[in-house]
Amino acid sequence: MEKGSLVVVSGFSGAGKGTLMNNLLSKYNNYALSVSATTRSPRPGEKDGVSYFFKTVEEFETMIDQDELVEYAKYVGNYYGTPKAFVEKKLQEGKDVLLEIEIQGALKIKKKFPDALLIFITPPSAEELRSRLVGRGTETLDVVNQRLTRAITESEGVEAYDYILINDDIDTCTEKLHNLIRASHDRACAHLNIIEIIRKDLRRIEYVK
């Protein structure tokens, strides 16, 4: 069976990544969404083991020490990290594994897995970003402001991504994202071993006379 791809989806807080991930998962069956560990507190409605694995700082640091995370980063005062076991299992099963993570984590993934696909999602404007963050009503205004400030830093690292998608309309954006991921299966790096086999065969094949 062909191994799945690792797909990193980043974007400003409030870009609509969560909805995009849910759309992909409900419309197609080739995806698995990695559930991260975090030390931030659950928002209303968030369930442990579904939205995140909610951890204390001590628990998180133990996960770091025991090498249980593919990557981790600090974001606005909290730890966030990707548990290794799930990602490895799903890739082996041939699933495309979605990591919805911020930019520092994305860069670490690119280093460890050069074939990973990195996609950055942005709303069409700063104004729209602010109104989505405020409208969500899940964070204090102080945290909203910290996230807006953080977005400036994140905007400076986007060159590392393979694609930037503007999330103007969620359905259009979902389809674009799905098509990019499908196309990535045919990137040169995904087929190098096939070319290797063909080259070997070409060397020993009987040439036509």
User: Which residues form the interface with ligand 5GP (CB under 6 A)?
Assistant: 13, 36, 40, 71-73, 75, 80-82, 100-102, 104-105
Distance from C-alpha of 63 to C-alpha of 22, rounded to nearest angstrom: 27
Q: Which residues, in sequence order, are CB contacts of 187 under 8 Å at separation 6+?
A: 115
Cβ of residue 109: shortest distance to ligand 5GP, in angstroms? 9
Residue among 120 and 181 whose Cβ is closer to ligand 5GP = 120
Residue among 106 and 181 whose Cβ is closer to ligand 5GP = 106
Give the residue closest to ligand 5GP by C-beta: 105
**Helix 126-136 × helix 141-155 angle, to 10°:** 150
**Please, where are the H alpha helices in 50-140?**
57-65, 84-92, 103-112, 126-136
Residue among 101 and 165 whose Cβ is closer to ligand 5GP = 101
Cβ of residue 94: shortest distance to ligand 5GP, in angstroms? 22
* C-alpha closest to that of 20 among 82, 99, 116: 99
Distance from C-alpha of 8 to C-alpha of 35, rounded to nearest angstrom: 13
Residue 110 · residue 119 · CB < 8 Å:
no
Residue among 40 and 176 whose Cβ is closer to ligand 5GP = 40
Cβ of residue 101: shortest distance to ligand 5GP, in angstroms? 3
Residue among 5 and 102 whose Cβ is closer to ligand 5GP = 102
Cβ of residue 204: shortest distance to ligand 5GP, in angstroms? 47
Cβ of residue 150: shortest distance to ligand 5GP, in angstroms? 8
Inter-CA distances, 181 with 31, 32, 53, 115, 123, Å: 10, 13, 26, 12, 20
Distance from C-alpha of 77 to C-alpha of 37, rounded to nearest angstrom: 14
Residue 150 · residue 10 · CB < 8 Å:
no
What one-letter code names the amino acid at 69?
A: L
Residue among 31 and 75 whose Cβ is closer to ligand 5GP = 75
